[in-house]
Chain A
Amino acid sequence: ETGVTQTPRHLVMGMTNKKSLKCEQHLGHNAMYWYKQSAKKPLELMFVYNFKEQTENNSVPSRFSPECPNSSHLFLHLHTLQPEDSALYLCASSQMTSMYEQYFGPGTRLTVT
């Protein structure tokens, strides 16, 4: 266990559905991240939050909407997704941004039908 938990672990949703992914870290970190992991592609950084403030939005479509209510929790709200959005969504946290070790959760395997 890395101290970063994600729920649900698996999610199947239709293109018209709305769902949310949840991430929680128990490490006392101040920065949290969302990554997308697709087959045959490098991990892609989606969003970064530092002290609850979004500091990076890596050109992610608006159908992905992050929320960070506090330094321990991070959500990714999903709506009107496309089949190509099917992937493993990983949450990570670190003490601070900038050259600090990032610890990953187990991910949510998302399938869009």
Chain B
Amino acid sequence: GENVEQHPSTLSVQEGDSAVIKCTYSDSASNYFPWYKQELGKGPQLIIDIRSNVGEKKDQRIAVTLNKTAKHFSLHITETQPEDSAVYFCAATTSNSGYALNFGKGTSLLVTP
């Protein structure tokens, strides 16, 4: 089955700096890659996603890049703010079992003022 590895497990940045979280996947048939943000006491919230027919997608301060050849994708957050502090999860899935989101273990991001 699909195996998703996520790094780093913890990340601390100063406000205004950029943060990058990386994920790799094992199944070359994977074609949908969402990113979720989970704040304390809440469920994961979808913040951005990318499909395999594009290499990059951006939404304001958040961007995701996908390298299908290397089987990795990354989340980039620019101009970080304290409210960006949360746990971020990447996931991957394939159209073969499209509903089965395989999640990484999460990255705990701390943005210090």
Q: A residues engaging B (CB < 8 A)?
A: 2, 4, 6, 31, 33, 40-43, 45, 48, 50, 55-56, 58, 90, 92, 94, 97-99, 101-107
Contacts and interface: CB of A to CB of B under 8 A. Distances in A.
Nearest to A44: B103
A100 to B, nearest CB: 8
Q: Which size bracket describes the interface of B in this complex?
A: 20 to 34
Nearest to A88: B43
Interface of B: 4, 31-32, 34, 36, 41-46, 49, 51, 89, 93, 95, 98-106
A42 to B, nearest CB: 4
Contacts of A58: 100
Contacts of A48: 99-100
Given A99-B31, A99-B32, A99-B93, A42 B45 contact: no
A104 B43 contact: yes
A43 B89 contact: yes
Of B31, B89, B101, B105, chain A has the most CB atoms within 10 Å of the CB of B101
Contacts of A45: 100-101
B43 A101 contact: no
Given A55-B99, A98-B95, A90 B43 contact: yes
